[in-house]
Every structure is written in C-alpha cells, then in structure tokens.
Amino acid sequence: MRKNLMFLLLCALVLFLSFAGRNMDEGMWLLNTIGTLPVAEMKKHGLELTPEQIYSPNGPSLKDAIVLLGGGTSSFVSAEGLMVTNHHVAFGGIQSLSSLKTDYLKDGFWAKAREEELSTNYTAQIVTEIRDVTAEVLSAVNDTMSAEKRTAAIRERSREIENTAKGKSDLTYRVSDMYSGVSYYLFGFQTLTDVRLVYAPPSAIGNYGGEVDNWMWPRHTGDFSIMRAYVGPDGKPAKHSKDNVPYKPKVFLPVSAAGYEEGSFAMIMGFPGRTFRYREASSVELSRDQSLPLTVDLYKTRMEIIDAASKADRTVAIKYAGKVRGVANTYKNYLGTLEGMRRADLLSIKKMDEERFTAYVNSSPELAARYGALLADMAKANAELKTFNRKSIFLSNLTGGVDMIRIANRFRTYAQGPQGEKEQTTVREAVATAFKNFDLNLEKTLLTALILKGADLPADQQVMALQEIYGSKTGAERVEEVTEFVDELYEETLLSTPEGCEELLAKGAEKIVKDEYAQFAEKIDAEQAPVTAKMNAYNATIGKLRAKYVEARLGWKKGELIYPDANRTIRFTYGQVKSFKPRDAVRYSHLTTLTGVMEKASDEDPFTVPAKLKGLWQKKDFGRYADPQSGDIPVAFIADLDITGGNSGSPVINGRGELIGCAFDGNWEAVVGDYHFQPELNRTIAVDARYMLFVLDKYSGAQNILNELVIRWGGQTATRSEEKPVGTH
C-alpha cells in the first residue's frame, strides 16, 4: 500500500514538473494555430508583427517568403527572386556544377551579372494553400477495415483530393497526415523549376569545421548560399530558358544588420523533416538497441571508404562530395541520438509516460474498451518488426549505397517493359546521371565492404544471395572470397562503363537479363521483395495503431496546445536567442565571432582560413558589420528554436519580420530532440546575417547582390530595390 502511494506521488510530481517547467517555445506548430499561441508573451520578448502578418490564408504574409528547396528550406530576400539558404542545402547543385577546372566547392562562386547565374536541377516550392481535409480523407475508411486496406483507401482518397484540387492549374497539391493520421491537411504549392546558383562562398567559409564541428557548438561556419528562382516571361513556372525572368515573390524578407541581444525574440518558418515525439516505448527501445546502432555501423563503413578515396583523388572528392556529406551527417546525427537517448534515459521517460497514459485509459470503461490494448498491440507489432529489421536496414544500405545496383535495376526494369526509343532515351539519361558521379574502384570497394557487413547479420536474417558467396568462411578467407567475387562481377558485366551500358542497350532485353550484374541485382531484389512486403504490412498495422494512440493522447491532454510531429510540411517555431549550460561548470555563449574562426585555424582541412579573410580580421576591416558589444564580426548564434532536419536554410526572423540569420544545425547535447525536446539543452545554430553581409561585401565585393537586398541598420534601410514590408503586396 505504501509502495503504491509513493508511486502515485512520484507520478503526480513528475506530471506537475512537466507542466510547471514546460517551455512554451517547444513546438513545430501548424500555421493555422499561430493565433492560438501565447502572442502576448511573444510580444514581451520583441514580437511586433500580428499573427495575420505572420500567416494569413487570404492575403500576403510572412509565409509567402518561405520556400521548400531541395532537401531544405530557403527564403526570398529580394523583389527579384533571390533566395538565401545554407551552403549545405545548395551543396548538391554546387557539386554538380564543379569539376577540376571549375571547382566551385573549393573556390566558391559569384555571378556578377544575371547571365552568369548557373542553372541547377533544384525546384522551389511556395505554399499557396493550407486546408483541413480530415473529413474527406477519413470518409474512405471504417473501423472494420484491415490495416492494409485502410492504408490503401487513405492513399487512394488522398490522390483523388489532390487531383481534384489541381484541376487544370499549374499548382502542385499534397495531402499530409497530422498527429499520426488523426487528421489530414491539403497543401498547395507553386512549383518553380528554373532555379539558378548566384553565390556560394568557398568551402573554407561555407563548410568551415566540416564534419569535425558538425552538430557542435561553438560553431564558426558561414553556411549560406544564394540562389534565384525564375519563371517564364508570362510569370508562370517554366523550364530553364534564356528568356525566363526572375520570379517576383509576394513577400520577401529585409535583412537586419542591427543584430540582437541574448533574450531577443526569434522565430522560424520552414519545412522540418521527421520527428518521433509521440512514439511508443517499444519503438524507442527497438531504435535504441537495434535500428540506430546498425545504421551507424553501416554508414560509418560507407563514409570511411568514400572519405579515404576522396583524400587520394580530388576528382573522386568532387564526384562523391554530396554523398559523403549526406552519409556523414546522418551518421553523426544517429550517433548523437543514441548518446542522447542513453544520457536522458529516454526509455524510462517513455515508460513512465505510458504508465500515466494507462491510468487515464483505465479511468473509464469506455476508454479502456477503446484504447486499453493499444500499448500491447504496438509492442507486438514492434516485436514482429524485430524479426526482419536488421535485414531490412542492411538491404536498404546495400541497394542505396552501391550505384551499380541501381544502374542494374534500371536496366532490368527496361528489359521487363516497353523498349521503344522513348524508353531508351530515359535509360540513357539515367546512365549519364549515374556515371557523372561514379568511380569504379570506389564502387567495388563499397560493395565488398557491404557484403562483408552482411555476413555479420544474425543467422535468421542473412541475405542468402550473399551467403552463397562467402559460405561458412571466416576472417581472411571470407575477405578473399568476397573480394574475388566482386572483382569477377565487375570484369564480366557490361554495366560498369557508359560504353558498356550503350552496348548492352543495343543488344536488347535478352542480353540484359543475362548480364552478370543484372543477375546479381535480381537475386538481391528477390530477397528484398518479401522484406519490403513485411515492412509495408508492419507500417500499415503500426500506422493504424499510432493514429488511435495519438487520438487517445489528444483526449488525455484535452485543453492543451499540442503540435503534431514534423512531416516535411511548413511549420512555425518561436523562442529567444539564448545561451545554455551543457554540463557542470560549463556555459556556452549565444554568439561566436570571427576571432573564434582564427582560433580554430590550422593548415589542414576543414580548418583552413582563406588568406583574404584572415587579412580582413587582422586589419579589423569589418565595415559596418561588427557586433557593437564585442567589436567583432558575429559568425553564428544559438536560439531555443525547435527545428530538425529539413529546417536547414530556414530563415531566423526577428520580431519585425527581418532576417537575422539562417538556421543550419543543432547542438550535440540535443540531437535526441527528434524524440524528446529538452528546453534547457535544445538549441538551433544559425549563421548570422551580418556575417553573410560581411562575406558578400568585404570578402567578395558582391555589390550587385547587396544592391538587391533591403538591409536594415536598426531603423534605417539601405537598398536600391523596391521594398515590400511583411504583409503587403
């Protein structure tokens, strides 16, 4: 009795603390909820805009300056379609334009005139409409449906809604689920397909600190680039053409050169990727003990191989720059998430939360009947996933990490379908794209290493097509057997060169299916197909259960403001510029400076400093961009804004609607934030707008770009372009 009483008191204390210490800055909010947030509290910290100026469904607002760009976010900063984003968001475009002769990754790029801007394969999407379509979507399902049929019905109904909304317009529409499928929203987008590179700093600025500093604070990276969106002469979206004209956004952001102080109000709009804050304990446990560790191991293997080859050959480095950066970023993110899960004891937090949830469910017979079995059912589904999870993760890394497998599968698809001139052209385009960033020796090394990693899978999750290669061999004998297999595979196939691909294409389907690599890819596909089917069944089952679980939680927390998990839809988050205390006796300032860049400088990448930048610092040639308190050029700052992957490039905006920075990272202590927000630790890292202006002006002399911007110096505006304040046309 006494133990039960103590347990109830402990739960009550935890519940009280969770509300008493709740940080209202937590949350990736849907735009239509902005008016329900504590605006009065925001105004105390410096918000001057009205909720309607931030988001209005009927007229121009801050939302119209925000752009979904590639894998990240960007924002319009001029009346002529200029967009600022991260260097690492623009990285793929910069890499594809680079070569040994024009190494824009290393040297940077600056278009001194419009005609010098370089075309990329990026698309820019601006949200035009947000509409709740929950009733329309869920009208297609009922409680008697199986999980698979329910998923299919929702998918089909969503497509119908998207197609009806599109009609004959040039807009794009997507239905996205919220709260794990409790509700659904329709998002309309204006999609611009002519996006050009305007400016990129050299990697010694844009990627200063590289993977060493990634996810770390203090940070000294000038992680920004500038692109421009174009449309046809009629103002409508159009493919790249010399006749196209700059897109004129409804709203763009003025750039603040006045800075901020600790405690200043800050907000972000952007497109965060995925968070998992409402995940059940059994899923968190599976991620902690199996999914994340295996993925970290496989990504580390791939990263180290590409990195070693890149250091030996600059051509390889350019070709694989985007791949290795993506792999390295995910590797370090997952590593930090694992550490954060253990440090915060996330599983215990989840289990305690579920104990409180169970008490709520058991408080009435009706609730118990509807929701009583949920946690057990989700645990059962996750136990089933565990039986094939490792094999699924490995196969995804194998087929996604080896370009030759993708090339072979592309040919296999062609051989199984129509083989006319149109289809051949499509294959040739795919081959050209694949071999543009391809190195044969590196591909062989990757495949060898991944096959050897597959040998470490549990006996009941082995890939039989690979086990046939190494059999029962171990150690050096296994390595020798796999290496010999891979060497012979690449010697015998025609798919390892563009010329061989063209020859095989000419020979036709019968020869394609007999090619050694095509046959190898077919064996892998035969193993992956049943795993994919199991994963689809799991996703349907767990998706239905999670929708019901979040539905129950919303009822439990009725009366509270609760935001949905991020899912690559536009969101709003707000907070303050704020320092933090990562551990005992240590406090990190909210701001880093150019002096910190010099303190980290060395003769080795990623801490080399351009001579001109060093000279500007030595002479204290800072122009008007120095921070008034430090007398130094501000480089980066942190704020307690709630973001995740996909928010990269998001504008950090002050209370007047001015750009004060560009978000590019989070801090190591809070990488677990995708699962669990910790207000005392979670910080967004952003490059300071004044550093961007300083680099453009004093380092590059890019006056043509500066002349397009509306630059505000604390009440004063310096510009040569027409200004459109937030909320006006």
Summarised one tens digit per residue, pLDDT across range 701-718 is 999 999 999 999 985 544
Residues 305 and 369 in one domain: yes
Cis peptide preceding 218, ω within 30 of 0: yes
Q: Whose CA is closest to 410, among 432, 393, 436, 441? A: 432
Contacts 24+ apart (CB under 8 A), 359-365: 359/11, 360/556, 361/552
Query: 515, 549, 583: which is the final residue of a domain?
Result: 549
Flag whether 37 is in a domain. Answer: yes
CA distance 146 to 212: 48
Give, as one character, the DSSP assignment of residue 181. Answer: G
CB atoms within 10 A of CB 41: 13
pLDDT at residue 72, rounded to an integer: 98
Residues 250 and 375 in one domain: no
Flag whether 530 is in a domain. Answer: yes
pLDDT at residue 559, rounded to an integer: 83
CA distance 492 to 486: 10
pLDDT at residue 341, rounded to an integer: 97
Residues 411 and 540 in one domain: yes
Flag whether 522 is in a domain. Answer: yes
pLDDT at residue 25, rounded to an integer: 77
CA angle centred on 151, ends 148 and 154, rounded to 5°: 150
Out of 88, 220, 590, 676, the active site residue is: 88
Q: Which tokens sit at 320? A: 């694989």
Query: 479, 514, 549: which is the final residue of a domain?
Result: 549
Q: Whose CA is closest to 455, among 528, 403, 401, 398? A: 398
Q: Which tokens sit at 218? A: 């203090």
pLDDT at residue 714, rounded to an integer: 82
SS3 190: strand
CA distance 347 to 333: 19
Out of 75, 180, 264, 648, the active site residue is: 648
Give me the domain span that covers residue 49.
20-122+193-276+571-729
pLDDT at residue 694, rounded to an integer: 98
Residues 517 and 647 in one domain: no
SS3 327: helix
Flag whether 542 is in a domain. Answer: yes
CA distance 105 to 98: 7
Q: Do 670 and 23 touch, CB atoms closer than 8 A?
A: no
Task: Report the DSSP beta bridge partners of residue 83.
Answer: 76, 227
pLDDT at residue 726, rounded to an integer: 45
Q: Do 333 and 291 touch, CB atoms closer than 8 A?
A: no
Q: In the structure, how many helices (H) and strands (E) does the chain have?
A: 29, 23
Q: Do 361 and 371 touch, CB atoms closer than 8 A?
A: yes
Sign of the dihedral defined by the CA atoms of residues 97, 101, 106, 108, in that order:
negative
Q: Do 194 and 93 touch, CB atoms closer than 8 A?
A: no
SS3 91: helix
**Spans of the chain, pLDDT less than 50:** 1-22, 717-729
Flag whether 14 is in a domain. Answer: no
Let me know if 363 is a catalytic residue: no
pTM summary value: 0.93
CA distance 696 to 211: 24
Q: Which tokens sit at 451? A: 């096959």
pLDDT at residue 5, rounded to an integer: 37
Residues 243 and 298 in one domain: no
Work out the angle between the directed axes of helices 374-386 and 516-556 (0-180°, nearest 10): 160
Residues 611 and 653 in one domain: yes
CA distance 636 to 443: 38
Provide the residue type at 156 as one letter: E
Residues 36 and 145 in one domain: no
Q: Which tokens sit at 694? A: 């300083």
Q: Do 255 and 723 touch, CB atoms closer than 8 A?
A: no
Using only C-alpha atoms, the chain has a radius of gyration, in whole angstroms, of 27
Flag whether 2 is in a domain. Answer: no
The H-or-E segment that residue 576 falls in is strand 571-576
CB atoms within 10 A of CB 281: 21
Provide the residue type at 355 as one letter: E
Query: 153, 183, 213: which is the final residue of a domain?
Result: 183
655: domain CATH number is: 2.40.10.120
Cis peptide preceding 530, ω within 30 of 0: no
Q: How would you label 123-135 residue by residue, b for 16+ Cβ within 10 Å and e otherwise? A: bbbbbbebbebbe
pLDDT at residue 24, rounded to an integer: 53
Q: Do 642 and 563 touch, CB atoms closer than 8 A?
A: no
Task: Report the DSSP beta bridge partners of residue 175.
Answer: 186
Phi and psi, residue 294, nearest 5°? -65, -45
Residues 319 and 268 in one domain: no
CA angle centred on 219, ends 214 and 222, rounded to 5°: 90
Q: Do 258 and 661 touch, CB atoms closer than 8 A?
A: no
Sign of the dihedral defined by the CA atoms of residues 640, 646, 651, 654, in that order:
negative
Q: Do 93 and 72 touch, CB atoms closer than 8 A?
A: no
Cis peptide preceding 606, ω within 30 of 0: yes
Query: What is the distance in angstroms between the CA of the first residue and the CA of the last residue of the chain?
Result: 68
Let me know if 648 is a catalytic residue: yes
Work out the angle between the directed axes of helices 87-97 and 321-344 (0-180°, nearest 10): 160
Strands 118-119 and 194-200: antiparallel
SS3 388: coil
SS3 175: strand
Flag whether 681 is in a domain. Answer: yes
Residues 237 and 350 in one domain: no
pLDDT at residue 14, rounded to an integer: 37
Residues 596 and 714 in one domain: yes
Flag whether 710 is in a domain. Answer: yes
Let me know if 170 is a catalytic residue: no
CA angle centred on 568, ends 73 and 143, rounded to 5°: 170
Residues 245 and 296 in one domain: no
Residues 49 and 132 in one domain: no
**Residue 40's Cα: distance from chain center in Å?**
32
Total structural domains within the chain:
3
User: Rounded to the nearest 10 degrees, how much is the dihedral formed by the CA atoms of 42, 45, 50, 56?
Assistant: -60
Out of 25, 64, 103, 223, the active site residue is: 223
Work out the angle between the directed axes of helices 292-312 and 389-401 (0-180°, nearest 10): 20
SS3 28: coil
Q: Whose CA is closest to 495, among 438, 451, 569, 539? A: 438
